[in-house]
Copies of this chain bind each other. A is one copy, B any other.
Amino acid sequence: MNIKILVADDEKVMRELICDILQNQGYETVVACDGEEAINLFKQEEVDLIVLDVMMPKYDGWTVLKKIREYSDVPIIILTALESERNEIHGLTSGADDYIIKPFSYEVFVARVNVLLKKQIRKKSQVLNYKNLQIDQLSCKVFVCEKEIQLTNLEYKLLLYLVENENIVTSREQIFLSVWGYDNSQTTRTIDTHIKVLRAKLGVCGDYIKTVRGIGYSFSKEE
């Protein structure tokens, strides 16, 4: 899932600064230079959040806020240079979700954006993607070539452990300790058996799990 943020500000420098910050966070940005453009863009793009400057040509920020709130609950952050309490209250009571005064600190800005994107971020950050293999940690579902495969809980945990240690060779002992909580690797072939089943279930992605003879296993999507 890609998160898209609409940035509306008439000053080029500010616009680019904000976009840079957001892109650094891995978000996609769409820019508007005036109120009218902001409203139009919002209608045609699927936007997850709006950063809205108050002073803009055509429509000012307040007007844009009001118009968008007539039909959408999208989170909106109001940006302004005016440090006035009146303004802040006005912004918040007109339906804004947050209110930030310029100049703002990078970190606080990012933190406040992230609070409003909490749900989307949660979803996004829980999906692991490896070519034909996707692992959704929220629904605990695993997909190979877009098709869901059924793993048992243990198989799922084992796969997750290997994936979390991508490109790192882990011994059977380490795997046992991390996934099972105890070590039984000296006497049994338990892990090998599960790896076998896992590879089979992963189908074309089965060989992402590499055997490192004499040591253990490692997950790597390379060839």
Could you say which interface size class chain A belongs to? 35 or more
CB of A169 within 8 A of CB of B215, answer no
Cβ-neighbour of A107 out of B73, B89, B140, B154 (below 8 A): B89
Tell me whether A17 is interfacial, beta carbon within 8 Å. Answer: no
CB of A115 within 8 A of CB of B138, answer no
Closest to A154 in B: B214
Tell me whether A178 is interfacial, beta carbon within 8 Å. Answer: no
CA distance A139 to B95 in the complex (A): 21
Tally of this chain's copies: 2
Q: List 23 A-B contacts (CB under 8 A).
A: A73-B119, A73-B122, A85-B108, A88-B108, A88-B111, A89-B107, A92-B111, A92-B112, A92-B114, A96-B115, A97-B115, A98-B115, A138-B167, A139-B167, A139-B169, A139-B220, A140-B169, A140-B212, A140-B215, A152-B213, A153-B213, A153-B215, A154-B214
